[in-house]
Amino acid sequence: MKKIILMMAAIAVLFAASNVAQAAKPKGLLKNPGVWGAFSLKEGKGKACYMAGQPKDSKPAGVKRGPIWLLVTHRPYKKIKGEVGVYVGYPLKAGSTVKINVDGKTFKLYTVDDTAWVEKPKAEKKLVAAMRAGRKMVVRGISKRGTNTTDTYSLKGFTRAHKAINRVCKVK
pLDDT band at 160 (very low <50, low <70, confident <90, very high): very high
* Torsion angle, alpha carbons of 69, 74, 75, 77, to 10: 180
What pLDDT is attached to residue 20? 41
Sequence ranges of the domains in the chain: 26-168
CB 72 within 8 A of CB 83: yes
pTM over 0.85: no
**68-94 pLDDT per residue, tens:** 999 999 999 999 999 999 999 999 999
CA 79 to chain centre: 18
What pLDDT is attached to residue 170? 95
CATH 3.90.1150.10 fits 26-168, yes or no: no
Least confident segment among 23-32, 82-91, 143-152: 23-32
> How far, in Å, are 19, 24, 138, 148 from residue 59 at the CA level?
34, 29, 11, 8
Q: Write down the mean pLDDT value for the chain.
A: 87
Share of the chain above pLDDT 70, in %: 86
